[in-house]
């Protein structure tokens, strides 16, 4: 088995300003697994720097080099073949960089496993829902063209505590879509949130408030939930089934955002989505500004399991406008990176056993 790890930086066509970070570009890690002449690809898109419990891209690369890939090669040396993708979820540890690193390896092994059997992702995850699309914009930066596609059912809006300007309110009115206010852990008091919702409610369809407090702070979320007439959503605070059960125990939210790279991969994401439904929560699939490779996998998973609007639409980048990054294929995830794309990426590591 041979592994190749690449890194690229994709500059977003429309920058997104959050409470503690401006998303101008996104690091992307691509992993190719090759064994017995069959290859598979995975992708994760970490933050440039660690923030709100999520690791930075250098942390993920280090986790791959020092921990996860040695574990994987030990399995291959012992068993003679790569492990099934469903086993990789067991490698997740409590280190923040572990979840995206495991997701990257799991995804590449899954793609290869499908290709080795001549299967497609739809063979495993048939469509059950016409999952609506959610888009993301911000009222914290330039309030110009938001670039929201016509088929967008809901808009997640990055916001922060403070008074709402008339210009920002009018911007949200022009969107003409239901809005999920995303505070990205920036609130200090309940009033920070309640006042903003009250200000906007006469003019904008506010359908929820996302992650006003820090990850793990279910107590403050639960208290705030009782003051709001709209649902609370947990995003950064959901990383495991245990987190899910704590959210329900404290009645801290009614909506949860499940991001595969944050929960340790697709096997874990499926488990969390199923458990969230059993507990009476409304799960949706979130994303990290992925390329079309990971977005297509997320889209298929969402349409298999999720009815809530999800982050499954395309992500506009300047790089994707200038060259062909992927070509369609009849097996696996249905897409393969082009030779041109990989040649222009930075080859971080090549390993074999």
For residue range 226-280, list pLDDT tens digits in order.
999 999 999 999 999 999 999 999 999 999 999 999 999 999 999 999 999 999 9
d(CA 247, CA 276): 10
pLDDT at 15: 87
| Per-residue confidence (pLDDT) for residue 141, from 0 to 100 | 81
Q: pLDDT tens for residues 311-324?
A: 999 998 886 556 78
Q: Can you tell me the mean pLDDT for 118-125?
A: 98
pLDDT at 316: 86
What's this model's pTM, rounded to 2 decimal places? 0.96
- Structural domains in the chain plus CATH codes: 2-119+323-352 (3.30.390.10), 123-318 (3.20.20.120)
Per the document, the length of the chain is: 353
222 vs 141 pLDDT, higher one: 222
Q: Once rounded to an integer, what is the mean pLDDT over residues 111-136?
A: 97
* Closest C-alpha to 180, from 157, 200, 162: 157
Q: Is the pLDDT of residue 96 over 60?
A: yes
Share of the chain above pLDDT 70, in %: 98
Instruction: Compute the average pLDDT of residues 20-46.
Output: 96
Residue 123 has pLDDT above 60, yes or no: yes
User: Average per-residue pLDDT in the chain?
Assistant: 95
Q: Is 60 exceeded by the pLDDT of residue 283?
A: yes
Residues 282-299 have a mean pLDDT of: 97
pLDDT > 90: what percent of the chain?
A: 89
pLDDT of residue 144: 66
Q: What is the mean pLDDT of residues 156-183?
A: 94
Higher pLDDT, 189 or 162: 189
């Amino acid at each position: 088995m041979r592994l190749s790890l690449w890194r690229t930086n994709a500059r977003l066509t429309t920058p997104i300003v959050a409470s503690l970070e401006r998303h101008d570009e996104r690091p992307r890690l691509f992993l190719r697994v090759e064994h017995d002449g069959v290859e598979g690809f995975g992708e994760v898109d970490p933050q440039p720097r660690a923030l709100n419990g999520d690791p930075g891209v250098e942390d993920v690369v280090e986790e791959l080099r020092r921990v996860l890939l040695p574990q994987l090669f030990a399995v291959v040396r012992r068993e003679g073949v790569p492990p099934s993708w469903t086993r990789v979820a067991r490698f997740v540890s409590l280190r923040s960089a572990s979840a995206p690193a495991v997701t990257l390896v799991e995804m590449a092994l899954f793609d290869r496993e499908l290709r080795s059997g001549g299967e497609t992702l739809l063979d495993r995850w048939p469509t059950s829902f016409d999952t609506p699309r959610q888009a993301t914009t911000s009222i914290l930066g330039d309030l110009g063209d938001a670039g929201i596609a016509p088929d967008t059912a809901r808009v997640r809006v990055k916001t922060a505590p403070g008074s709402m300007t008339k210009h920002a309110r009018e911007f949200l009115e022009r969107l003409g879509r239901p809005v999920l206010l995303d505070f990205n852990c920036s609130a200090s008091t309940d009033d920070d949130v309640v006042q903003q919702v009250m200000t906007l409610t006469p003019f904008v369809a506010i359908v929820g408030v996302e992650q006003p407090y820090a990850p793990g702070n279910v107590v403050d979320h639960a208290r705030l939930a009782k003051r709001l007439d709209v649902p609370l959503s947990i995003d950064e605070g959901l990383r495991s089934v245990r987190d899910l059960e704590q959210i329900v125990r404290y009645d801290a939210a009614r909506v949860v955002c499940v991001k595969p790279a944050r929960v340790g991969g697709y096997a874990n994401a499926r488990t969390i989505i199923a458990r969230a439904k059993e507990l009476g929560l409304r799960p949706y699939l979130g994303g990290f500004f992925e390329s079309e490779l990971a977005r297509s996998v997320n889209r298929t998973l969402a349409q298999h399991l999720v009815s809530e609007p999800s982050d499954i639409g395309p992500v506009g980048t300047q790089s994707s406008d200038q060259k062909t990054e992927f070509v369609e294929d009849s097996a696996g995830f249905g897409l393969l990176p082009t030779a041109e794309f990989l040649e222009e990426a930075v080859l971080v590591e090549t390993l074999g056993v």
